[in-house]
A and B are shown apart, each in its own frame.
Chain A
Amino acid sequence: EIVLTQSPATLSLSPGERATLSCRASQSVSSYLAWYQQKPGQAPRLLIYDASNRATGIPARFSGSGSGTDFTLTISSLEPEDFAVYYCQQRSNWPPLTFGQGTRLEIK
């Protein structure tokens, strides 16, 4: 099973700042990685798939990069609605699909 480790666990930033979230895989997942956003009381929402492709309707301030074992989700300029928990997920070698433990992005 591929283990995904996200860092940091919590990121405190202000609106307008740039956010950089990391996800590291225990073995190569090629580019088969997605990012999801989850707000309190809501289901997750797909942001990025195949490491760098934005899902339908996702604003351009969200971007993904990386391949192999190291991946990054960048939010170029934080909006108030971006403060949430973010999860990475791999589909390289599944089943099982696996998720990272999440990064909480909070308002500073």
Chain B
Amino acid sequence: EVQLVESGGGLVQPGGSLRLSCAASGFTVSSNYMSWVRQAPGKGLEWVSVIYSGGSTYYADSVKGRFTISRHNSKNTLYLQMNSLRAEDTAVYYCVRDGYNVGYFDYWGQGTLVTVSS
């Protein structure tokens, strides 16, 4: 059974950093495109970043230069390093699997809340 379990969210001050983790089971993270998608409170969905199975990474303009996506193959875990956090980064962050490796998300984690506030 495919499972994605995020951790690492919490309250952080503007300008601070946070690292999110996503522990995967039931499949191999390095075999699929993996993304982070966020949802601000009461708002819609926003794609944040992707790491391809081959290792290439891409980011939304809103986080480019501040966030870094990575994976640890032996731990089967996905990460999102978030630096220079802003109030507008406040959201639930979902770890998502692209089981088709084309840009559709077939499995989602439960989400972890990141709150950026002083």
Size of the chain B interface, CB-CB below 8 angstroms:
21
Q: Are B108 and A44 in contact (CB under 8 A)?
A: yes
- Judge whether A99 is part of the interface by a CB distance below 8 angstroms: yes
B27 in contact (CB, < 8 A): no
CB neighbours of B45 from chain A (8 A): 36, 38, 44, 87, 89, 99, 102
A-side binding surface: helix, strand, loop or mixed? loop
Partner of A46, one of B59, B102, B104: B104
Given A99-B47, A102-B44, the answer on whether A55 and B106 have CB atoms closer than 8 Å is yes
Q: How far is the CB of A85 from chain B (nearest CB, A)?
A: 8
- Which residues of chain A are near B60, meaning CB under 8 Å? 95-96
A101/B104 contact (C-beta < 8 A), A95-B58, A95-B59 known: no
**Other CB < 8 Å A-B pairs besides A46-B105, A91-B104, A94-B103, 19 of them?**
A36-B45, A36-B105, A43-B94, A43-B108, A43-B109, A43-B110, A43-B111, A44-B105, A49-B100, A56-B106, A87-B44, A91-B102, A95-B50, A95-B58, A95-B60, A96-B60, A99-B47, A101-B44, A102-B45
